[in-house]
Structure 1
Amino acid sequence: MIACLSYQGELFPEVKERLAKLKQLAQHPEIDQQAQAQYAICGHIFEVKDKGSSIFPYVLEDGAFRISLSRTGKKTPMAYVKISSRYLCSVTPAEAEKHLRDILKELGTLDSSAHVSRIDLCADFVSPENMESWGREAWITRGKKIDAHAINEKFSGWSIGLGGKISCRLYDKLLEIHSSGRTDLVPLWREAGWQEGEPVWRVEFQLMRDVLVEHGLIGLDSVLSNLNGLWSYATTEWLRLTLPNPDDQTRSRWPIHPLWGYISAIDWETNKSPLSRSFKATQIPDDKRILTLGASSLASFMAKHGITDFDEGLDRYILALHQHFYTCGEFIGLSAEDFILEKVRLRGREYNTILNVNEAEQKQLTIDKAAKDYRKESDGE
């Protein structure tokens, strides 16, 4: 499940000032300045983005949350937040929202509980069914668009109603994982009984705020209490997969496809899916992808210089790499070590793994936090 939540409130003046400075750092042409565009709070090292929108000019992001913050205004939410699906594989939605609220309370004053702006409900399943075996006519839906998709001529899934208030995707999750390099779901599948080599498909519904309001659901608690109703509406009223009967022109009488019978019967209230216990709020690529780039670079270097001995190739490659760092650093007045460390800090900001705040700024932040905590105690909070 993925949830997008909004909160009414007001940012603290000192937070707005700090965010404005950090956004300027993110836009700075120098790498060492960009690397400091970070906001550390409640155990997270958020990357401060160089761009936002006219409504939400400040954006903080890591592997758990993407937090868009507004300057001010009673009609505009203080925060619009997308909770990542990876994070929701490690904690319950209620736990995630509680942690998010703790973060937002450090940024401003909240005036209301969380409102759900969007919710994505998804289920992963294994099936021997050929998902390409039926045509568009088998889908009976209120959506306007029905599309089949393929990647490199391999069928990858269906999408129904994209761009509307409700949409659905049925797609090859293993194929998507191989493309993205995100393998964090694999241990959870194994724990649930998945066997290596079995196809994994995902059915995913996205329900926008308008749909939730139509059903009288605004707050997160009310939405979480009615997941079965929302799933039933999506899989029985808004969309059905059928077995077409050419002898019956009344499509509403066509029988439900057995696969859809299983999907529509998913019970969200008693779902006890395993949760990951190894989540880190970082946005890091898989080591395999990084090392593949390194292997390609080494192979290209050895081939260019006609080297077939691995040890010789690796030694000469490392020597050439160090010389390259030295030359690039010298051009901008840095040592080879400082040149690469600049890039490390920039990646650390992007991956949410290294806090690049300088010592003076860190000392000031500590003082500011102590003053803020004192004010809270004085006000009896």
Structure 2
Amino acid sequence: MHVVHRGFDTIALSIQANISQELFDLLNTERERAEEERHPVPFSYGGADFDLLPHGGNGYRFILKGGPLDVHWSFKKPNARDPWGIRVSVGSTLLATQGLGYARSYIDKTLTRLGIRFESHQVSISRADFCVDILAPEFELVPENFVIHSHTNRADYLSAQDDMRSNGKSGQFTSVTVGKMPGRQVIIYDKRREVIDKKKPIWWDVWNTNLEREGLPPLDPSDASQSRVWRVEVRAGKDLLKDRWQIRMWPQFDAMFGDVIAEALKKIRYCEPDPDDGNRARWSNHKMWDLVAASSEDDLLEMRSYVDATSIKRVHRNEQIRLIMAQLAGLGITLAALEDTQEIELGEFMDSVGGRLAESINADPERAVSRLHEAKNRYRFIA
């Protein structure tokens, strides 16, 4: 077993401030356009660039995304009676590659560009997830090996049917979740499977960058027997942070969040069963659990993988190109079938499709140029 990544996975916070009327009016106009076009539209203000979604949510009028770094900005309509008008959610890509310190600075700089002023006491942290990724190809997850409080909830998730070991009588578990948000939640899951299923190729770069820094060979994504990575994740919701630990602002978070993680790993343990001891509380921790606990004892704030922004863009761009090429090939084959093309003629048919596409563009060049600009705007963060 070997740690291939550790760090924050999600940070969510609310800010006691409202956007200006000028910014609201601009966002409102652009959101109407996004609703009409039924897709996100580019939005820039004060030197900050976003994609504005065509909908709001959870009481927020506007939701904006800041490119492949996985940051969401939610804004309410300005209202003096509702001063908590801003929510920011930072996802795993930014936190894993750049670290929490960078994320906090990025939030402050972006809000400054938007003309939003606030003091440190006007920040309220509502969620923080911390994770440790462990290379453990031989590990098998057994839900019954958790030792937890009798009132703690546990949800088990089985793998796909074709991975069942005995026709549904017993299965290979890929995820076990203990606890419930917005309190405390601890989850173990097969991160390799999620990366492949949900098409998140950036994680291979994160893991391999960390391995390279230790002088170790990279993982081969195609070989599960040597690249199976399990994630142990501790999720702290607002009830745990504010009610149990009195954590609301960054200074309190900096001082106590390490203790939040340590307590979670003590109250919820994954153990090695002892057949000679019926008292589960006396079972020893599984070596994975001890490895996670040891990895969480250092300064948590600056953990990162050192994957640079250019690499992040490259990975996202290459994934989009791969998906679009697969779609083009599929559409071309479908068209060939509709036109009764024979198998031996398929290559020649595909060549002819390129010519037909060129003719279509030449027939209406203005529309083609307009569509090109729209596509460039849509992918401007990774192009």
TM-score (norm 2): 0.78
Gaps in structure 2 of 5+ consecutive residues: 1-7, 164-171, 212-217, 221-225
The structural deviation recorded for 1:69 is: 0.4
Shift of 1:312: 2.0
* Cα displacement (A) at 1:228: 2.2
* 138-147 vs 173-182, greater mean Cα deviation: 138-147
Q: What is the CA distance between 1:49 and its match in structure 2?
A: 1.3
Q: Structure 2 residue aligned with 1:267, among 296, 303, 311? A: 296
Q: Encode CA deviations 1:205-250: one digit per residue, 9 max, x unaligned.
A: 221112111212211343234332121111112x111223454443
Deviation at 1:147, TM superposition (A): 0.8
Q: Distance in 1 between matches of 2:98 and 2:282?
A: 41
Q: 1:225 to 1:288 in 2, by over 3 A?
A: farther
How far apart, CA to CA, are the structure 1 residues paired with 2:377 and 2:161? Answer: 34
1:235 aligned to which of 262, 265, 276: 265
Does the CA-based 8 Å contact 1:302-1:308 persist in structure 2? no
* Greater shift in the superposed pair: 189-198 or 302-311: 302-311
Q: CA deviation at 1:111?
A: 2.7
Per-residue deviation, 1:163: 4.2
Aligned length: 341
* Partner-residue secondary structure (3-state), 2:344: coil
Matching of residue 81 in structure 1 with residue 88 in structure 2: yes
**159, 173, 193: which one pairs with 2:177?**
159
The answer as to 2:331 corresponding to 1:313 is no
> Distance in 2 between the 1:347 and 1:83 partners?
26
1:66-110 Cα offsets, whole Å, 9 max, x none, are 100011235442210111211122322122221221211233433
CA separation of 1:200/1:112 partners in 2, compared to 1, >3 Å: closer, same or farther? same
Instruction: Kindly provide the CA deviation profile for residues 179-208 of structure 1, in whole angstroms up to 9, marking residues without a partner as x.
Output: 222211212312322433321111112211
Percent identity (aligned) = 18
TM score, norm. by length of structure 1: 0.78
Q: Distance in 1 between matches of 2:231 and 2:382?
A: 34
Match of 1:72 among 63, 74, 78: 78
Flag the 1:70–1:95 CA change in 2: closer, same or farther, 3 A: same
Corresponding residue for 1:115? 124
Q: What is the alpha-carbon distance in structure 1 between the residues aligned to residue 77 and residue 315 of structure 2?
A: 26
Measured at CA, do residues 55 and 195 of structure 1 come closer, stay the same or move farther in structure 2, by a change above 3 Å? closer
Q: Distance in 2 between matches of 1:210 and 1:201?
A: 27
Residue 19, structure 1, aligned to residue 31, structure 2: no
Distance 1:354 1:173, change over 3 A: closer
Equivalent of 1:255 in 268, 280, 284: 284
Residue of structure 1 equivalent to 2:331: 297
Worse-superposed segment, 180-189 or 5-14: 180-189
8 Å contact from structure 1 (residues 47, 352) kept in 2: no
Q: Structure 1: where are the runs of 5+ without partners?
A: 327-334, 356-381
Report the counterpart of residue 192 of structure 2 in structure 1.
174
Which residue of structure 2 aligns with residue 364 of structure 1?
Answer: none
| Partner Cα distance (1:234, 1:264) in 2 | 10
SS at match of 2:284: coil
Cα pair 1:282 1:351 within 8 Å, conserved? no
Deviation at 1:311, TM superposition (A): 5.2
Which residue of the partner structure matches residue 106 of structure 1? Answer: 113
Show CA shifts across 1:157-187 (max 9, x none): 2222244512222122221111222211212
TM superposition shift of 1:251 = 2.3
Say if 1:143 and 1:161, in contact at 8 Å, map to a contact too: yes
* Aligned equivalents of 2:204, 2:314: Cα separation in 1: 18
Residue in 2 aligned with 1:145? Answer: 154
